[in-house]
Structure 1
Amino acid sequence: MVIIMKQVYKDELVKLICSDTFECMQRFPSNSVDVIIADPPYFLSNGGFSNSGGKMVSVNKGEWDKINDVKPEVFYTRLIRSADRILKKDGTIWVFGSMHNIYILGYLLPKYGFKILNNITWQKSNPAPNLSKRMFTHSTETIIWAKKESGKQFFNYDLMKELNHSSQMKDVWTTPTINNYERRFGRHPTQKPLSVIDRMVKASTDSGMILLDPFVGSGTTAVAGARNGIRTIGIDNSQDYLNIAIKRVSNFQEEKLGKIK
């Protein structure tokens, strides 16, 4: 189904667009974006079960997370190639994943012209227990940070060191799961902590840059961009999630940054 492209929010820093992300990205001029933060579908909605608050719940996130008529490798290839076209020469991309999809992304990024800079391990300090009791509890997700092969990334080294008590910041970041305040306007099933996204924005953007989130969901990247004075564009195909994002961005100064180590 083709989704009509519609700008649903705009202020001096943030623009939110309701659209299929690939259709929207096609309209971006080449070499026009400095940083991309992408939390694409992990394609885990397979009818299984997980644990939430001690209760057995479905793992299904929504139709957008199901494998229907497109294979994950095809979807991710399209994302990476679209990112390569619109990123500036020195642009970088952050991509979230889990063990279920991160190896596909890690294989495809170098194949299509990117060099991986870091493999960030996001460790959840209070993960849900493993219901099967047949394997270790899943307590981490991965964030790949990559640059164009011939580019030179911006890295706010001094600020990262300052935030880490005058020591070089490591590639393992630990946070609790999302607090209820970050979901006060509504819930998104794969929402990431503001503390994680805020650190990514601080590390890789500078005044005057343009930040894009092609799967903005409930707007965490847009909030982080606004908090740091970075012009941010968010795209999502769900008006319901964008309605949450609009409320969060409109009240970004009230957002509370959770703990992160």
Structure 2
Amino acid sequence: MSDWRNHIFCEDALEGLARIPDGAVDLIIADPPYGLGKDYGNDSDKLAAEAYLQWMEQWIVAALPKLQPNGSFYIFLTWRYSPEVFVMLKKRMTMINEIIWDRRVPSMGGSTRRFSSVHDTIGLFANSKNYYFDLDAVRIPYDAETKKARSRSIFVGAKWLEMGYNPKDVWSVSRLHREHRERADHPTQKPLEIVSRMIKASCPTGGVVLDPFMGSGTTAVAARGCGRDFVGFELNADYCALINQRLQGVTPAEIVDPGLEKQSPQKDVPQAI
């Protein structure tokens, strides 16, 4: 199929990835089932540990050839399986970062036999040492107070002061609670803030982002808003309809980076097929 760009295919990624030519995408963002038994309208998240890890390796092996030589791969994981998956990926790619997504879960109850889990783990991997990465696109501006404190002549014109600082590897972004304006009918929807940062940093303008598990379609919405193409797969037909609905009216440059860390360090609508 030649017109695979900007399509969400309503099918299993393991079957559908053959549609995409090898070396055709710039970035993969994957948010697979975590193996926690959640209900996505199917049994995709109900595998036992050994079977789950075998399935993870199966789709990863199928997806990685689709990346360009300088492409990158972000993967959302739970702490339960991130060690095994990271080892699996390190055999095939270069690990660039482990990013911690602090979901800003309020301190309310939780287990009394262990510490409460309030984060997701994100791995960033690259195909080669010359992977694409646009730091300037995701720099976080300093506030006026910080700039004023750096007014000495040695700081005047400094790029880091004028453009902002490099985001850290801990991203503190609230999960999408039920009343959140972004919230769609999906149990594990990821915030646009997070996915748009990944796309701006790791996919050139006009490039292609692949998401094997589209879910609520956040990757497609973020890609379109950031001026990138997308392609993805989703098993649940209801979620495919949701994605098409979310894409209505989204135009390039509509999604702006709100800045995940505001504080200074010192202080044509595609159709599912």
How does the TM-score come out when normalised to structure 2? 0.78
8 Å Cα contact 1:182/1:256 also seen in 2? no
**1:87, distance to aligned residue in structure 2 (A):** 0.9
Q: Which residue of 2 aligns with 1:132?
A: 111
Post-superposition Cα deviations, 1:155-191, rounded to whole Å, max 9, x if no partner, equal 11122225566112111110111152212xx411111
Segment drifting more, 89-98 vs 161-170: 161-170
Q: Quick one: distance in 2 between partners of 1:102 and 1:173?
A: 17
Q: Quick one: distance in 2 between partners of 1:106 and 1:119?
A: 9
**Structure-2 change in CA distance of 1:255 and 1:194 (3 Å):** same
Q: Which residue of 2 aligns with 1:197?
A: 195
State whether structure 2 residue 17 is matched by structure 1 residue 19.
no
The one-letter code of the counterpart of 1:42 is Y
Post-superposition Cα deviations, 1:93-149, rounded to whole Å, max 9, x if no partner, equal 1000011121121110012x111101111001234745322221111101101011x
For residue 136 of structure 2, give the secondary structure of its aligned residue in structure 1: helix
More strand by share: 1
Q: 2:238 aligns with which of 223, 234, 240?
A: 240
How does the TM-score come out when normalised to structure 1? 0.81
**1:229, distance to aligned residue in structure 2 (A):** 0.6
Percent of paired sites with the same residue: 32
Q: Quick one: distance in 1 between partners of 2:95 and 2:216?
A: 27
Q: Quick one: distance in 2 between partners of 1:160 and 1:25?
A: 30
The one-letter code of the counterpart of 1:119 is E
**Structure-2 change in CA distance of 1:225 and 1:100 (3 Å):** same
State whether structure 2 residue 93 is matched by structure 1 residue 101.
no
Structure of higher CA gyration radius: 2
State whether structure 2 residue 101 is matched by structure 1 residue 122.
yes
Structure 1 portions without partners, runs of 5+ = 46-58
Q: Which residue of 1 aligns with 2:271?
A: none
RMSD: 2.6
**1:260, distance to aligned residue in structure 2 (A):** 2.5
Q: Which residue of 1 aligns with 2:214?
A: 216
Q: 1:159 aligns with which of 137, 148, 168?
A: 137
Q: Which residue of 1 aligns with 2:90?
A: 110
Structure 2 portions without partners, runs of 5+ = 144-163, 262-273
**1:30, distance to aligned residue in structure 2 (A):** 1.4
State whether structure 2 residue 61 is matched by structure 1 residue 81.
yes
Number of residue pairs matched by the alignment: 235
The one-letter code of the counterpart of 2:22 is S
